[in-house]
């Protein structure tokens, strides 16, 4: 029985990680082939750093993901705090359902409807083109927002409501009480929301594809457009780098988490 | 306090709207170029970085700064959809022949001012007055290429090669790759049977479908760019694709694979050409860019990068270019430029009526489902 469960785990691991391992190995391939390994070389990493258009699309993707996740975290937290204070239950439930719509809605419908709206508003203002970085940012904030709210609302519900009340009793203004008492309590929810928003925005293709304007191309779109010719191993090198950066970030955040857990239990 | 926060939020939203409205009014000159992915020399493997070179050359020549916004698309239809939505504006686009005909008929292209494109004189006469732009008003050809059959000589008997029959040869069942798009796949059968690929007569398409159904049990899979991996690794032995892409595969073939290439008669041709769409914001700058793309250094770099044939005489007559590619490659890429026009106007795809396109797609689906 034990060996069976071990084999099962091993199989799951292989299915999960074999694609990444293959990608990693072929990023060091000497030849252009994506199927035949003909020797070790760092050539594709060198080529990657010379490819200004790809690097620009990486930069674009990061700028977009960072700004979208930060703005949607701020807006989402504010929305969650507001929703939490609502006394009217029916209104609260309606609001929660409405904010969930962008999350349940298929990406392609969100993308097309956003594009149509941007074109409509753009024409209203008489602009020659209506899609640009701004529209893409709005689109990304739109689909990130519900995930942030979903992370922050339960934290607010779990929180001891007498904490901010006590702070205000002791003379804090409501705003100060929020920053001193509420915010530290819901911080884990906010951070998870931020990370979720960041990763969602980072690898979104469909919505970006419909709302992208002139010249501002993100990495997923650039890779998709390489299919007339073939995807070069440069992209393998890039994916490998991204994988390791994310792995390191994950490890760091996990160590911080376990550290604070220890401190928490020590209290 | 609450009012204060709401006020800030309202302000932020108004600002976002203003950002929406204020686009397209930049101070520095920008040029928006929309091209196929991987279709321009980009500085990799010590090639020329065409975009950067243009920006530098422009600043030196005109003492003004220009910023090129370069974007890519994956198919003519993607590009068409994006442009016709009216949401974006590009200054230079590179569609294929049939799409140029369609866009010209829908007034989506601007006639070019050839005074700004003096390098057009180097375009070979064979590429002027082709069906998609009979009066040479809208387009400057960028690349052209032909469909051929690629095979692995270690598996395929040389005696069987030649003509379209090879991809119907039962000896190689399970080793053959066919196009995974209706127009290209049907064309292989139509060329084999001597039918017109642009026929509006439904019965000839039924005939081609019957031929494709005969081929279906022999086909390993229907592919587009997956063909690179499958041919390079020897997973499949026979495939139909463009001559330029054959050389890309040749560069990456595995040790036990020996790829060869030939043109069956007749075969399909395509031309991709630079055009200026009607949403262009700076037509003169766009024409200067097109002219730059035809000049010696960038034109040769792009031809070497894409591996497609160039209609530009400063490219194909250049000794350095011929030497870089080698005699055999040149022979395959440029088989008889004199006959090009006649063959192209007979055998290349044309835009078809929507009714016919729907019919073709229905036939294609019946093939794919079985």
Question: Could you tell me how many CB contacts below 8 A there are between chain A and chain B?
Answer: 158
| CA–CA gap between residue A106 and residue B233 (Å, rounded) | 38
Interface mutation target, options A22, A35, A47, A133, chain B, most CBs of B under 10 Å: A35
| Burial of residue B323, with CB atoms counted within 10 A of its CB: 0-12 exposed, 13-18 middle, 19 or more buried | exposed
Regarding whether B197 and B125 lie in a shared domain, the answer is: no
Taking residues A101-111, report their average pLDDT: 90
Regarding whether B191 and B140 lie in a shared domain, the answer is: no
Least CB–CB distance from B88: residue in A129, A175, A232: A129
Taking residues B220-235, report their average pLDDT: 89
Q: Does B17 touch chain A (CB under 8 A)?
A: yes
Residue A22 lies in a domain: no
**What is the three-class DSSP state of B219?**
strand
Residue B13 lies in a domain: no
Alpha helix stretches (DSSP H) within chain A: 2-26, 43-50, 52-85, 89-104, 107-124, 133-158, 162-169, 174-177, 183-202, 206-211, 219-224, 234-266
Reported as a pLDDT band with limits 50, 70 and 90, residue A225 is: confident
Q: Please count the other Cβ atoms lying within 10 Å of the Cβ belonging to residue B22.
A: 13
> Over 90: is that where the pLDDT of A88 sits?
no
Regarding whether B263 and B327 lie in a shared domain, the answer is: no
pLDDT: which is higher, A75 or B18:
A75
Residue A6 lies in a domain: no
Residue A266 confidence (pLDDT):
42
Number of H helices, E strands in chain B: 15, 9
Q: Which A residues 177-216 touch B at CB under 8 Å?
A: 212-216
Regarding whether B358 and B225 lie in a shared domain, the answer is: yes
| CA–CA gap between residue B127 and residue A91 (Å, rounded) | 68
**Tally of structural domains, chain A:** 1
> Over 50: is that where the pLDDT of B25 sits?
no
> Over 60: is that where the pLDDT of B23 sits?
no
Q: Are the Cβ atoms of B23 and A34 closer than 8 angstroms?
A: no
Dump pLDDT digits (tens) for B130-142.
999 999 999 999 9
| Burial of residue B203, with CB atoms counted within 10 A of its CB: 0-12 exposed, 13-18 middle, 19 or more buried | exposed
Give residue A175's Cα distance to chain centre.
29
Structure tokens at A18: 């074999």
Dump pLDDT digits (tens) for B179-205.
998 989 999 999 999 999 999 999 999
CATH of the domain at B42: 3.40.190.10
Dump pLDDT digits (tens) for A200-213.
998 899 999 989 88
Regarding whether B51 and B125 lie in a shared domain, the answer is: yes
| Burial of residue A219, with CB atoms counted within 10 A of its CB: 0-12 exposed, 13-18 middle, 19 or more buried | buried
| CA–CA gap between residue B43 and residue A207 (Å, rounded) | 30
Structure tokens at B127: 């590429």
Q: Does B184 touch chain A (CB under 8 A)?
A: no
Reported as a pLDDT band with limits 50, 70 and 90, residue A230 is: confident
Q: How far is CA A254 from CA A83, A240, A248, A250, A259, in A?
A: 30, 21, 10, 6, 9
pLDDT: which is higher, A34 or B17:
A34
Least CB–CB distance from A32: residue in B21, B43, B251: B251
Reported as a pLDDT band with limits 50, 70 and 90, residue A215 is: confident
Residue B13 confidence (pLDDT):
62
From chain A, pick out residues whose CB is under 8 angstroms from the CB of B229. 33-35
Residue A267 lies in a domain: no
> Over 70: is that where the pLDDT of B92 sits?
yes
Residue A234 confidence (pLDDT):
86
Residue A194 lies in a domain: yes
Residue B23 lies in a domain: no
Regarding whether B90 and B164 lie in a shared domain, the answer is: no
Q: Give the whole-number percent of chain A exceeding pLDDT 70.
A: 96
Residue B44 confidence (pLDDT):
80
From chain B, pick out residues whose CB is under 8 angstroms from the CB of A216. 69
Residue B21 lies in a domain: no
Dump pLDDT digits (tens) for B240-256.
999 999 998 998 888 88
Residue B104 lies in a domain: yes
Residue B273 confidence (pLDDT):
96
| Cα distance from N-terminal residue to C-terminal residue, chain A | 41
Residue B16 confidence (pLDDT):
59
- Of B38, B347, B247, nearest to A231 (Cα)? B38
Regarding whether B91 and B61 lie in a shared domain, the answer is: yes
Reported as a pLDDT band with limits 50, 70 and 90, residue A252 is: confident
Residue A39 lies in a domain: no
> Over 90: is that where the pLDDT of B337 sits?
no
- Of A216, A252, A229, A240, nearest to A48 (Cα)? A240
Q: Does A128 touch chain B (CB under 8 A)?
A: yes
**What is the three-class DSSP state of B143?**
strand
Regarding whether B140 and B150 lie in a shared domain, the answer is: no
Regarding whether B55 and B35 lie in a shared domain, the answer is: yes
Structure tokens at B83: 């442009």
Dump pLDDT digits (tens) for A130-175.
788 889 999 999 999 999 999 999 999 999 889 999 999 999 999 9
Residue range of the domain that includes A165: 53-226
Q: Are the Cβ atoms of A213 and B21 closer than 8 angstroms?
A: no
- Range with the lowest mean pLDDT among A46-60, A225-239, B180-194? A225-239
**What is the three-class DSSP state of B262?**
strand
> Over 80: is that where the pLDDT of B27 sits?
no
- Comparing alpha-carbon positions, the chain B residue that sits nearest to A32 is B252
Q: Locate tokens 């003169």: which residue?
A: B284
State which of A50-54, A103-107, A231-235, B10-14 shows the largest mean pLDDT: A103-107
Q: What is the pTM of this model?
A: 0.85
Q: Which B residues 31-70 touch A at CB under 8 Å?
A: 32, 36-39, 42-45, 49, 51-52, 69-70
Regarding whether B257 and B274 lie in a shared domain, the answer is: no
| CA–CA gap between residue B271 and residue B142 (Å, rounded) | 7
**Average pLDDT over chain A, rounded to whole?**
88
Contacts of residue B32, Cβ cutoff 8 Å, sequence gap at least 6 = A214, A215, B68, B69, B71, B88, B89, B90, B91, B92, B281
Contacts of residue B80, Cβ cutoff 8 Å, sequence gap at least 6 = B95, B99, B102, B103
Q: Give the whole-number percent of chain B exceeding pLDDT 90.
A: 71
Residue range of the domain that includes B315: 28-144+270-336
Residue A98 lies in a domain: yes
Residue A260 lies in a domain: no
Regarding whether B152 and B260 lie in a shared domain, the answer is: yes
Regarding whether B39 and B96 lie in a shared domain, the answer is: yes
Residue B3 lies in a domain: no
Residue B264 confidence (pLDDT):
94
Residue B322 lies in a domain: yes
Q: Are the Cβ atoms of A227 and B85 closer than 8 angstroms?
A: no
Residue A267 confidence (pLDDT):
40
**Average pLDDT over chain B, rounded to whole?**
89
Residue A262 confidence (pLDDT):
63
Contact of B140 with B124, CB cutoff 8 Å: no
Residue A228 confidence (pLDDT):
72
> Over 70: is that where the pLDDT of A265 sits?
no
**Tally of structural domains, chain B:** 2
- Of A234, A236, A243, A235, nearest to A23 (Cα)? A236
| CA–CA gap between residue A146 and residue A144 (Å, rounded) | 6
Residue B19 lies in a domain: no
Residue B16 lies in a domain: no
| CA–CA gap between residue A140 and residue B246 (Å, rounded) | 40
Structure tokens at A187: 């911080």
Q: How far is CA A141 from CA A68, A192, B21, B191, in A?
A: 5, 16, 19, 52
Reported as a pLDDT band with limits 50, 70 and 90, residue A261 is: low
Categorise residue A215: left if φ over 0, alpha if ψ from -120 to 50, beta otherwise. left
Residue A113 lies in a domain: yes
Q: Does B226 touch chain A (CB under 8 A)?
A: no
Residue A15 confidence (pLDDT):
92
Containing B297, the helix (H) or strand (E) segment is: helix B296-306
> Over 90: is that where the pLDDT of B42 sits?
no
Residue A132 confidence (pLDDT):
85
CA torsion, ordered B61, B62, B68, B74, to nearest 10 deg: -60
């Amino acid at each position: 029985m034990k060996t069976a469960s071990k084999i099962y785990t091993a199989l799951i691991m292989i299915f999960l990680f074999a694609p990444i391992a293959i990608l990693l190995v072929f990023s060091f391939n000497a030849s252009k082939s994506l199927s035949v390994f003909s020797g070790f070389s760092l050539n594709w990493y060198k080529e990657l750093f010379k490819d200004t258009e790809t690097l620009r699309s990486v930069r674009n993707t990061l700028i977009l993901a960072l700004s979208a996740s930060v703005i949607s975290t701020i807006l989402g937290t504010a929305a969650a705090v507001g929703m939490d204070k609502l006394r009217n239950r029916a209104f609260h439930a309606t609001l929660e359902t409405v904010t969930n719509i962008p999350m349940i809605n298929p990406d392609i419908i969100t993308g097309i409807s956003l594009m149509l709206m941007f074109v409509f508003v753009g024409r209203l203002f008489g602009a020659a083109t209506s899609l640009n970085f701004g529209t893409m940012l709005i689109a990304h904030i739109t689909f990130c927002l519900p995930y942030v709210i979903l992370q922050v609302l339960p934290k607010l519900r779990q929180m001891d409501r007498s904490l901010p009340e006590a702070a205000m009793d002791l003379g804090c203004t409501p705003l100060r009480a929020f920053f001193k008492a509420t915010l530290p309590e819901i911080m884990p929810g906010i951070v998870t929301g931020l990370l979720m928003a960041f990763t969602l925005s980072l690898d979104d293709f469909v919505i970006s594809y419909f709302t992208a304007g002139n010249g501002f191309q993100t990495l997923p779109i650039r890779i998709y457009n390489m299919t007339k010719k073939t995807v070069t191993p440069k992209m393998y090198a890039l994916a490998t780098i991204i994988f390791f950066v994310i792995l390191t970030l994950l490890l760091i955040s996990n160590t911080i988490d376990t550290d604070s857990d220890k401190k928490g239990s020590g209290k | 306090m609450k009012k204060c926060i709401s006020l800030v939020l309202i302000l932020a939203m108004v600002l976002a709207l203003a950002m929406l409205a204020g686009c397209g009014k930049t101070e520095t000159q920008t040029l928006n170029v929309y091209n196929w992915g991987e279709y321009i020399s980009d500085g990799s493997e010590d090639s020329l970085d065409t975009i950067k070179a243009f920006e530098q050359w422009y600043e030196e020549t005109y003492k003004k700064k220009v910023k090129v916004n370069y974007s890519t698309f994956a198919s003519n239809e993607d590009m068409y959809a994006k442009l016709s939505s009216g949401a974006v504006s590009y200054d230079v686009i590179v569609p294929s022949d049939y799409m140029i005909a369609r866009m010209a008929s829908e007034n989506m292209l601007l006639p070019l001012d050839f005074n700004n494109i003096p390098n057009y004189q180097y375009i070979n006469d064979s590429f002027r007055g082709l069906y998609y732009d009979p009066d040479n008003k809208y387009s400057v050809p960028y690349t052209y290429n032909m469909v051929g059959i690629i095979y692995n000589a270690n598996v395929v008997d040389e005696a069987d090669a030649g003509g379209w029959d090879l991809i119907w040869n039962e000896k190689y069942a399970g080793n053959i790759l066919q196009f995974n798009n209706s127009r290209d796949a049907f064309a292989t059968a139509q060329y084999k049977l001597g039918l017109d690929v642009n026929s509006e007569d439904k019965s000839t398409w039924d005939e081609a479908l019957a031929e494709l159904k005969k081929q279906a049990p022999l086909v390993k899979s229907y592919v587009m760019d997956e063909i690179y991996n499958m041919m390079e690794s020897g997973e499949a032995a026979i495939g139909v694709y463009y001559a330029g892409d054959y050389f890309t595969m040749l560069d990456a073939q595995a040790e036990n694979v020996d790829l060869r290439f030939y043109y069956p008669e007749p075969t399909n041709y395509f031309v991709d050409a630079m055009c200026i769409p009607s949403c262009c914001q700076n037509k003169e700058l766009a024409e200067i860019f097109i002219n730059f793309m035809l000049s010696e250094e960038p034109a040769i770099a792009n031809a070497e990068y894409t591996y497609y044939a160039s209609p530009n005489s400063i490219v194909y007559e250049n000794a350095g270019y011929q030497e870089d590619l080698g005699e055999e490659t040149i022979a395959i890429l440029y088989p008889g430029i004199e006959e090009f026009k006649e063959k192209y106007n007979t055998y290349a795809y044309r835009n078809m009526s929507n009714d016919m396109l729907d019919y073709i797609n229905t036939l294609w689906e019946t093939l794919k489902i079985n």
